[in-house]
A = this chain, B = another copy of it.
């Protein structure tokens, strides 16, 4: 007795980080909690419900970290801090990170809401560069692609050379930032 949805998801986060998201099955989770797997259905809507819960928790944890490191910073300070915080999230919480990548299926409004919160944090950083409107939306897509691409390739073991990874990311961010700065300058010519 004494288990609830929160505790089940807490255990699932741990299991995913320790043994991988694929190994996070209802059977293993139940065994770890000391109950039989059908009992999990009292707390969670089956395997799909468990995954949905982990996705939301992953998105929220990412957003929490990004907000924490960007508050009080702007422009490149905020941009670099945001990218590195996201990278750290993926490395420190591999299972939860993997869960956050699962695409929301139509009808999962709670997942979509957490995703939108994350986007708004990115947009807040970009606003500091003075881009707005469609300009800002294209930039948000670009920044998401850069960060997600770099971090997910790293998480998948895609970077095999010994070459300094941090420098690779910083160069990419610098190129993005420079483009953004130039673009803002063109859009709003000085007085």
Contacts and interface: CB of A to CB of B under 8 A. Distances in A.
A153 B146 contact: no
A159 B134 CA distance: 14
A179 interface: yes
Given A134-B163, A175-B175, A175-B179, A150 B158 contact: no
A138 B167 contact: yes
A54 B121 CA distance: 38
Given A134-B163, A152-B152, A176-B175, A145 B146 contact: yes
Contact of A150 (B104, B149, B156): B149
A142 B142 CA distance: 12
B137 A158 contact: no
B176 A163 contact: no
Interface string A116-159: 00000000000000000010011101101111111011001111
A156 B175 CA distance: 26
A138 B179 contact: no
A141 B157 contact: no
Contacts of A152: 148-149, 152
Interface of A: 101, 103-104, 134, 137-139, 141-142, 144-150, 152-153, 156-159, 161, 163, 167-168, 171-172, 174-176, 178-179
5 contacts: A142-B175, A145-B150, A148-B153, A175-B175, A175-B176
Given A142-B175, A145-B146, 14 more contacts: A103-B157, A138-B168, A139-B171, A142-B171, A144-B158, A145-B153, A145-B172, A147-B149, A148-B149, A148-B153, A148-B158, A174-B179, A178-B179, A179-B179
